[in-house]
Structure 1
Amino acid sequence: MALSRNVVLGVLGAVAVLLAMSLFTVHETQTAIRFQLGEIVQANYKPGLHWKWPLVNNVLKFDRRLQTLDTEPERFLTAEKKNVIVDSFAMWRIEDVRLFYTTVGGDPTQANVRLDQIVKDGLRSEFSKRTIQEVVSGDRDQIMETLGRLLKEQATFLGIASVDVRIKRIDLPPDVSNSVFSRMKAERLRVAKDFRSRGGEAAERIRADADRQSTVLLAEAYRDAERQRGEGDAQATEIYARAYGKDQDFYSFHRSLAAYRQSFSGRDDVLVLKPDSQLFRYFNKAQ
Structure 2
Amino acid sequence: MNRIGFIASSILVVLALLSSMLFVVDQRQFGVVYALGQIKEVITEPGLHFKLPPPFQNVSYIDKRLLTLDSSDTESMLTAEKQRVVIDWYVRWRISDPSEFIRNVGLDENAGALQLNRVVRNAFQAEINRRTVGELISSKRDDLMNDVKRQVIQVVKGGRPWGMEIVDVRITRVDYVEAITESVYRRMEAERKRVANELRSTGAAEGEKIRADADRQREVTLANAYRDAQKTKGDGDAEAARIYAEAFGKDPQFAKFYRSLDAYKASFGKKGDFMVVDPSSSDFFSAFRGSAASTAPAAVPRRP
Q: TM-score, structure 2 length as denominator?
A: 0.65
Q: Structure 1 residues 224 and 67 mapped into 2: Cα distance closer, same or farther (>3 Å)?
A: closer
Residue aligned with 1:98, SS: helix
Asked if the contact 1:144–1:167 (Cα under 8 Å) also holds between the matched residues in 2, the reply is no
Q: Is 1:50 equivalent to 2:43 in the alignment?
A: no
How far is 1:205 from its partner? 2.5
Superposed, 1:138-153 pairs within 5 Å as 146=145, 150=149
Partner in structure 2 of residue 243 of structure 1: 247
Distance 1:214 1:207 in 2: 10
Q: Deviations over 1:125-162 (max 9, x none)?
A: 25863537974xx889x669936982797287333245
Asked if 2 retains the 8 angstrom alpha-carbon contact of 1:77 and 1:128, the reply is: no
- Report the equivalent of 2:237: 233
Q: Is this contact kept in 1: 2:62–2:98, CA < 8 A?
A: no
Q: Which amino acid aligns with 2:120?
A: V
CA–CA distance in 2 between the matches of 1:128 and 1:263? Answer: 104
Cross-structure match for 2:214: 210
- Check if 1:268 corresponds to 2:275: yes
Task: Tell whether the 8 Å contact from 1:34 to 1:58 is kept in structure 2 after alignment.
Answer: yes
Deviations 1:141-185 (A, max 9, x none): x66993698279728733324567666765543430222122111
1:204-261: CA deviations, max 9, x gaps? 1321232123123212321231122122212211211221222222112212333344
Give, in whole Å, the separation in 1 of the partners of 2:50 and 2:150: 36
CA apart distance, 1:196 = 0.8
Q: Does 1:192 align with 2:199?
A: no
One-letter amino acid of the structure 1 residue matched with residue 121 of structure 2:
K
| Structure 1 counterpart of 2:289, from 265, 283, 286 | 283
CA gap 1:67/1:239 in 2 versus in 1, 3 angstroms: closer
TM-score by length of 1: 0.69
Q: Is the 8 A contact 1:115 1:151 kept in 2?
A: no
Counterpart position of 1:75: 76
* Contact 1:76 1:83 (8 Å CA) reproduced: yes
Partner of 2:133 in structure 1?
131
Name the CA distance, whole Å, in 1 between partners of 2:109 and 2:291.
141
* Aligned residue in 2 for 1:63: 62
1:116 aligns with 2:117: yes
Q: CA 1:107/1:272 → structure 2, altered by over 3 Å: closer, same or farther?
A: same
Counterpart-to-counterpart distance in 1, 2:151 and 2:24: 27
Structure 2 CA distance for aligned equivalents of residues 51 and 269 of structure 1: 146
Label 1:273 to 1:144 Cα distance change in 2 as closer, same or farther (>3 A).
Answer: farther
Name the CA distance, whole Å, in 2 between partners of 1:128 and 1:194.
Answer: 37
1:95 match: 96
Summarize deviations over 1:25-53 as a string: whole Å, max 9, x none: 35315313457899867535323333568
Looking at structure 1, the residues matched to 197 and 264 of structure 2 have their Cα atoms a distance apart, in angstroms, of 74
Report deviation, 1:61.
2.9
Mapped partners of 2:226, 2:136: distance in 1: 63
Paired AA for residue 198 in structure 2: D
Residue in structure 1 matched with residue 261 of structure 2 by the alignment? 257
Matched letter for residue 179 of structure 1:
S
| SS of structure 2 residue aligned to 1:74 | coil
For the Cα contact (< 8 Å) 2:22–2:49, is it kept in 1?
yes
Match of 1:178 among 176, 182, 185: 182
Gaps of 5+ in 2: 1-6, 294-304
- List aligned pairs for 1:1-16, cutoff 5 A: none
More helix by share: 1
Count residues in correspondence: 272
Letter in 2 for 1:267: F
Query: How far 1:72 moved relative to its partner?
Result: 2.1
Contact between 2:100 and 2:163, CA under 8 Å: does it hold in 1?
yes
The amino acid across from 2:117 in the alignment is D
CA distance in 2, matches of 1:283, 1:67: 125
Q: Which amino acid aligns with 1:230?
A: G
More displaced 10-residue stretch of structure 1: 121-130 or 180-189: 121-130
